[in-house]
Amino acid sequence: MHQFPATTRAPLSRRTSRLKRLLLTSVLVMLIAMMLAACGSSPSTGASPQPVKLNVFAAASLQGALTDIGKAFSRAHSNVTVTFNFAGSDALATQINQGAPADVFASANATQMNAVVTPGNIAGSAVKTFAHNRLVVIYPAANPANIQSLRDLGKSGVKVVLAAKTVPVGQYALQFLDLAAVDPSFGASYKTNVLKNVVSYETDVKSVLAKVALGEADAGIVYTTDAATETGKVGTITIPDALNVIAVYPIGAVKASKQATTAQAFIDYVLSSEGQATLAKYGFIAGSEGKQYSPPAS
pLDDT digit string, tens, across residues 230-245: 989 999 999 999 999 9
pLDDT-derived band at 8 (thresholds 50, 70, 90) equals very low
- The most distant pair of C-alpha atoms in the chain lies apart, rounded to whole Å, by 139
Question: What was the pLDDT predicted at 24?
Answer: 61
pLDDT above 90 (res 56): yes
Tens-digit pLDDT profile for residues 243-272: 999 999 999 999 999 999 999 999 999 999
Domains, the chain, ranges and CATH?
52-132+248-286 (3.40.190.10), 135-238 (3.40.190.10)
pLDDT tens sequence across 170-216: 999 999 999 999 999 999 999 999 999 999 999 999 999 999 999 99
What pLDDT is stored for residue 14 in this prediction?
Answer: 58
**Confidence (pTM):** 0.82
Query: What percent of the chain lies above the pLDDT cut of 90?
Result: 82
